[in-house]
Amino acid sequence: MAKKTLPIRDVFSSKFGVIAAAAGSAVGLGNIWKFPYIAGVYGGAAFLFVYLGFIALIGLPVMLSEFTIGRKSRSNVFGAFKNLAPGSPWKLVGMLGVAAAAMILAFYGVVAGWSIDYVVKAVSGNFAAKSPGELESMFTNFIETPLTPILYQIFFMILTMGIVIIGVKDGIEKYAKFLMPILIVIIIILNIRAVTLEGAAEGLRFLFYPDFSKLTADGVLSALGHAFFSLSLGMGTLVTYGSYIGDDNNLAVTAVQVTIADTLIAILAGIAIFPAVFAFGIEPSSGPGLVFITLPNVFQQMPGGYFFSILFFLLLTVAALTSSISILEVVVAYFREELKIKRNLSTVLATVLIGIIGVFCSLSMGMLKEYTTFGLNFFDLLDWISANLLLPLGGLFISLFVGWYLGRKKIEAELAKGAGVVSWLLSVFIFLVKFIAPGAIAIVFLHGLGFFNFG
């Protein structure tokens, strides 16, 4: 059946579908696994406040830029730059995005696999009566085992593939519409549990009462980097999703809604975690193990902990899944449109390719631990290259492209679809993408490369 306006391209079928898919991409391991532990490391509320500033001033304009590029070009991220800036090297930015997507999904799938394993562990009551030391070695032994984490990673990649292969409307959109409300219900239940624990107030104070003396320069830069990761920016995920957004959608409103949803879920994840951590007298700054080591310890002491531990790791898995489908779609859309491979085959190819890279990420936690580059194992190397290099670089180019290359007229025409454009807001947006966002991103990027160090 031919569609009315865009015969060969998929389009999301409803406004709720657009928000569910884009918020589903943004809300992920970044919000529930990463945000609480970096906020913990950098002093809680002070980090949160800086993070919120970056979200508003840089994240939101870059997100709107990605949506604009996507819908205007109606193309995958490589094709988008090729269409809008024909014959120029801008398309390399798209290439960078596809590469970043493959790298991120490779290690993302590994962590998502861990969360599935922890759902299983939670269901089988594996956390009960274990000492903190035992919980720690349970986690480290698990991630160092060669086979089991890979099986869970492959299982997760197959789930992701299964949704993407169906397509944009019937796969990605439908599952996001189904999974996102579940995610919200679970996080609200966990919040109610956390704030009603005795001693919860201290955790809330940690999260909302800023002590700026704890905020290092490194913390400020991490806040910016995390804003990118958390909002799914810098590699064309939201260019790709933007290309499926119908012309009757107001892109600015959508970007604001997605940004608010992502930020709210990160804060809710903090509210679910810190009161519980403080109530049981545990250090909040325990790093990446916060979710897999500290929380099981909290759960096993908490009334109803068995039930809440299952819910928590289910939440983590669902959040990871709606993000991983968006990352896979970046590569699939590229394979389909640029290499002219059918969706089915594109999806299988991309999944196998990324899955294989992921297997090496998983093995680099144990068996291949000794093979390091710049002192980093393969998992950490991919994480480092993508988060510190490719996302900031992509974000920088995306904001420069919209601010300096597209220009006011074209931006205005795109944003006016499905909306009225308020002139001063448009000016604010253009100012942010022309100067503020690229300037700030350049600082993070150079810091990531070690050209200078504030800390």
Judged by the rule CB under 6 A, the positions of this chain that interact with ligand PFF are 25-26, 28-31, 104, 229-230, 232, 235, 237, 323, 326-327
- In the complex, the smallest distance separating the C-beta of residue 29 from ligand PFF, rounded to whole angstroms, is 4
Q: At 150, is the secondary structure helix, strand, or coil?
A: helix
For residues 100 and 148, the answer to whether their CB atoms sit within 8 Å is no
- In the complex, the smallest distance separating the C-beta of residue 209 from ligand PFF, rounded to whole angstroms, is 25
Q: Which is nearer to ligand PFF, 10 or 383 (CB)?
A: 383
H/E element holding 163? helix 147-166
Interatomic CA distance for residues 397 and 179, integer angstroms: 32
Q: Which is nearer to ligand PFF, 98 or 220 (CB)?
A: 98
Report the residue closest to ligand PFF, judged by CB: 30
Phi/psi of residue 116, nearest 5 degrees = -65, -45
- In the complex, the smallest distance separating the C-beta of residue 327 from ligand PFF, rounded to whole angstroms, is 5
DSSP state of 373: B
Q: Which is nearer to ligand PFF, 273 or 430 (CB)?
A: 273
- In the complex, the smallest distance separating the C-beta of residue 361 from ligand PFF, rounded to whole angstroms, is 15
- In the complex, the smallest distance separating the C-beta of residue 235 from ligand PFF, rounded to whole angstroms, is 5
Interatomic CA distance for residues 270 and 48, integer angstroms: 10
- In the complex, the smallest distance separating the C-beta of residue 104 from ligand PFF, rounded to whole angstroms, is 6
- In the complex, the smallest distance separating the C-beta of residue 318 from ligand PFF, rounded to whole angstroms, is 12
Q: Which is nearer to ligand PFF, 45 or 265 (CB)?
A: 265
- Between CA 130 and CA 151, with CA 116 as vertex, the angle to 5 degrees is 105
Q: Which is nearer to ligand PFF, 84 or 327 (CB)?
A: 327
Judged on CB neighbours under 10 Å (0-12, 13-18, 19+), 273 is buried
Residue 166, token pair as written in the block: 């169906």
Q: Which is nearer to ligand PFF, 102 or 277 (CB)?
A: 102
215-220: Cβ within 8 A, 24+ apart: 215/42, 215/43, 215/46, 215/47, 215/50, 216/42, 216/455, 217/454, 217/455, 218/42, 218/454, 218/455, 219/41, 219/42, 219/43, 219/46, 219/47, 219/50, 220/50, 220/454
Q: Which is nearer to ligand PFF, 291 or 430 (CB)?
A: 291
Interatomic CA distance for residues 42 and 49, integer angstroms: 11
Q: Which is nearer to ligand PFF, 17 or 305 (CB)?
A: 17
Interatomic CA distance for residues 377 and 313, integer angstroms: 26
- In the complex, the smallest distance separating the C-beta of residue 100 from ligand PFF, rounded to whole angstroms, is 7
